[in-house]
Structure 1
Amino acid sequence: MSTFVNPAQTPAIGLSEEQAQLIDIAASFCRDKSPVDEVRALLEEDTGYNPDIWQEIAELGWLGIGIPDTYGGIGLGLGEIVPIVEQMGRHLLTTPYVSTVLAAQAVLRGGTEAQKNEILPKLASGTAATLGFCEDHGDWNLSMSRARAPSRVTNWRFQARNIWCRMCRKRLIWSQPWLSMIKRTS
């Protein structure tokens, strides 16, 4: 049985004025900073991105959008990050933006207060981060993970081999407890 929905009673879905402005700014920035020949050259570089452009992104405040202001961010939501990511994809701007945003969200959801105070301001101000997504067997199922975190009395040592690790070649890897939030101990 189908139900008729009156369009006049359905709330409009659209962008806020702030989101629309962000799209315009992001489109212009990404278009200007990402000529195709430079994208090709960056793919051959060790970092995979232009550090000067990355610093400009930090100065624009884009890295702090999803980070609360108490940790050095702007305190907006993930909805304000999406227009930036869309424009980066549309214009092939190669940066560690998505991986840094995801790392910040992982710290927000799983880090201690001390870890949030230490890590999030660094991410908001321009330190790039990355995450490993799957192992060499290519299985996304966490129950199939070969990663281990054997206990050594009071310390944990996380051991894993990730093959899909965006922009990992020369990335600062934090050796912090929050990295082993998902761990198998047996």
Structure 2
Amino acid sequence: MLADAARGFLDEAAPVAHLRAQRDAGQTHDPELWKQMAEMGWAGVLVPEAAGGADMGFAAANVLAEEMGRSLTASPFLSTAVIAATALRQISDERARTALAAIAGGARTYALAIDEGSKHAPEASALRAERDGNGFRLSGEKRFVVDGGFANHLLVLARTDAGLTLFDIPADRAGIARTAQAMIDSRDAARITFDGVEATGDNVLGQVDDAMTVLAPALHAGQAALAAEMSGLAAGAFGMTLAYLKERTQFGVPIGSFQALQHRAAHLWSDCEVTASAILNAGRMLDGDPDNAALAVSLAKARATQTAQLAVQEGVQMHGGIGMTDEFDMGFYMKRARVGAEWLGDYGYHAGVVARLRGF
């Protein structure tokens, strides 16, 4: 029921044509669309009811992410409603409840500022948080900060005296400089520099030197939801391809009657189904046994990366020349698949996690 409702709304309010129009207008997000999502309760899908949210769980968040993937909906859902909300859920104080309520109401958006190199590597963060009286001063740079160009709050991972610390900092604080960049999928990312940015004790999420206790669950939630989005992307691309195989004729018959194309379509369908099962399992683990969900989450993200890549490549191939043109929507799916493959860990990163947790 949730999937059907989401699909009905997104087909009307945010089809791929909406993303194309945003790109052509030089826009990377639609604040009005996010407002509508918040009014439907999507922004608060992981926010406790006491803070004004729906608290529907991670499996439900994945359902919404999957439907957004089908139509390539650009929104701060993953960064804000999934990652930031999950991080804040680990904290039981009034500050966190206020932030969660602001997320559920659509008033506060977040961007996750953790990576500094070309690959996802939170543990390698070098941005420094130096002690300054009762607080800190943050200095350094973060790259590939998705939604970082417009979010009004940042979750910043910094190196402190004996480990890593996670900070929740308003994006307009003095010393923060954001260089917004439109990615190849026409969405927002930013390079953010911190020049002696002040952070007080109230900005620390969790405990000093112990960021991963708060951040790890948030990353797992974000990776699972991103995998779900990529699964939806693959399904959307496959649906377009299947429809084309049925309507395009050659030698007087639909090209879908050619056995070679049938085999390739069947292979892609099977791959999509196996990946969907992996994502369902990741949501189940996050809801039922979050402390042991890492294996299921990384398996889902690795599989979703491969499946989305296969779906868009086969889509372009089976559409022939038109698949290579900007006028045709398949290119948008291919570009989003490429960005999704890199964000929050690529195939190699998650295959490594799976191998390590399996004892190899």
> Into which bin does the TM-score normalised by the smaller protein fall?
0.7 to 0.9
Q: Does 1:22 align with 2:2?
A: yes
* CA distance 1:106–1:45, change in 2 (3 Å): farther
Query: Which amino acid in structure 2 is aligned with residue 36 of structure 1?
Result: V
Q: Which residue of 2 aligns with 1:177?
A: 204
Counterpart Cα distance in 2 of 1:72 and 1:157: 33
Q: 2:69 aligns with which of 89, 112, 117?
A: 89
Structure number with higher relative contact order (C-alpha < 8 Å, ≥ 6 residues apart): 1
Q: 2:142 aligns with which of 156, 159, 162?
A: 162
Q: Which residue of 1 aligns with 2:95?
A: 115
* CA distance 1:149–1:118, change in 2 (3 Å): same
Q: Which residue of 2 aligns with 1:106?
A: 87
Would you tell me which structure has more helix in proportion to its own residues?
2
* CA distance 1:43–1:105, change in 2 (3 Å): farther
Higher Rg? 2
Q: TM-score, normalised by structure 1?
A: 0.76
Q: Which residue of 2 aligns with 1:145?
A: 125
**8 Å Cα contact 1:72-1:121 kept in structure 2:** yes
Counterpart Cα distance in 2 of 1:158 and 1:47: 30
Q: CA deviation at 1:140?
A: 2.9
Matches within 5 A, 1:36-51: 36-43=16-23, 48-51=28-31
Q: CA deviation at 1:37?
A: 3.4
Q: Does 1:57 align with 2:37?
A: yes
Counterpart Cα distance in 1 of 2:22 and 2:73: 10
**8 Å Cα contact 2:16-2:73 kept in structure 1:** no
Q: CA deviation at 1:117?
A: 2.0
Structure 2 gap segments, 5+ residues each: 154-168, 171-202, 213-360
* CA distance 1:160–1:71, change in 2 (3 Å): farther
Query: Which amino acid in structure 1 is aligned with residue 16 of structure 2?
Result: V
Counterpart Cα distance in 1 of 2:60 and 2:11: 19
* CA distance 1:41–1:162, change in 2 (3 Å): farther
Query: Which amino acid in structure 2 is aligned with residue 128 of structure 1?
Result: T
After TM superposition, the structure 1 stretch with the greater mean CA deviation from structure 2, 63-72 or 91-100, is 63-72
Q: TM-score, normalised by structure 2?
A: 0.41
Q: CA deviation at 1:143?
A: 3.6
Would you tell me which structure has more strand in proportion to its own residues?
2
* Residue-pair matches, total: 161
Q: CA deviation at 1:142?
A: 3.4
Counterpart Cα distance in 2 of 1:62 and 1:149: 34
Query: Which amino acid in structure 2 is aligned with residue 48 of structure 1?
Result: T
Q: 2:110 aligns with which of 126, 129, 140?
A: 129
Q: CA deviation at 1:74?
A: 1.4
Backbone CA RMSD of aligned residues: 2.3
After TM superposition, the structure 1 stretch with the greater mean CA deviation from structure 2, 21-30 or 139-148, is 139-148
Q: CA deviation at 1:46?
A: 7.1
**8 Å Cα contact 2:52-2:101 kept in structure 1:** yes
Counterpart Cα distance in 2 of 1:142 and 1:159: 16
Structure 1 gap segments, 5+ residues each: 1-20
